[in-house]
A and B are shown apart, each in its own frame.
Chain A
Amino acid sequence: SAVISQKPSRDICQRGTSLTIQCQVDSQVTMMFWYRQQPGQSLTLIATANQGSEATYESGFVIDKFPISRPNLTFSTLTVSNMSPEDSSIYLCSVTGGGYEQYFGPGTRLTVT
């Protein structure tokens, strides 16, 4: 399984600002995913990020709010733009394993005040 790290592990931000979350994988992977876990709720897929192409966003998520970069096969960033308190969540990145299973990073706990 892949080893995934995320930075920052947590942050407290003011509304209206933006935060960029980094995801680093210890091996080259084709597909990376970004999820959001709002308080008391399950994980929701934000987008799929493939290297060399635009990210594919799920219904309810847009590029202007959650721009994603995927410059190479081991790294991706997710930016949460123009934040509001409703964006307070845990943001996780994941990668696929050899099959259809996914492996998750430790998450970034974001609080927007």
Chain B
Amino acid sequence: AQSVSQHNHHVILSEAASLELGCNYSYGGTVNLFWYVQYPGQHLQLLLKYFSGDPLVKGIKGFEAEFIKSKFSFNLRKPSVQWSDTAEYFCAVNRGGTYKYIFGTGTRLKVLA
């Protein structure tokens, strides 16, 4: 069965530190890849997405993610985090041509001011 793994469940960083959150999926075919963010008290928002083309995608608020097909990975990065990045981050995958999402278990990021 398809699955999505996020290895870091809780991450604590100081402001200006660099961030990398891991995401691996288990499906060998064409996939669409997403990162969502949920800020405290708010609903899920799309951070960035990958459908095809350049494997390095840029999203909102300075986030980027790199799709490495050989590693079945779609890691999220930000060079310098801010206190306002404190949130829960979800990786999601759907098979190409379908709308059904498989979500990872989420990573809670806390950024210390």
Closest partner residue, chain B, to A95 (CB atom): B99
Given contacts A31-B99, A101-B34, contact A42 B49 (CB under 8 A): no
Asked if A53 CB lies within 8 Å of chain B CBs, one says no
Q: Which of B11-19, B70-78, B100-108 contacts A (4 or more CB under 8 A)?
A: B100-108
The answer to whether B51 touches A42, judged by C-beta atoms less than 8 angstroms apart, is no
The answer to whether B90 touches A96, judged by C-beta atoms less than 8 angstroms apart, is no
Asked if B68 CB lies within 8 Å of chain A CBs, one says no
Closest partner residue, chain B, to A31 (CB atom): B99
State A78–B98 Cα separation when bound (angstroms): 22
Interface of B with A (CB < 8 Å)? 32, 34, 36, 42-46, 49, 51, 90, 94, 98-101, 103-106
Interface of A with B (CB < 8 Å)? 1, 31, 33, 41-45, 48, 92, 96-97, 99-107
Given contacts A31-B99, A45-B101, A104-B43, 19 further A-B contacts (CB under 8 A): A33-B99, A42-B90, A44-B103, A45-B100, A48-B99, A92-B43, A92-B44, A97-B46, A99-B49, A100-B49, A100-B94, A100-B98, A101-B49, A102-B46, A102-B101, A103-B46, A104-B44, A106-B42, A106-B43
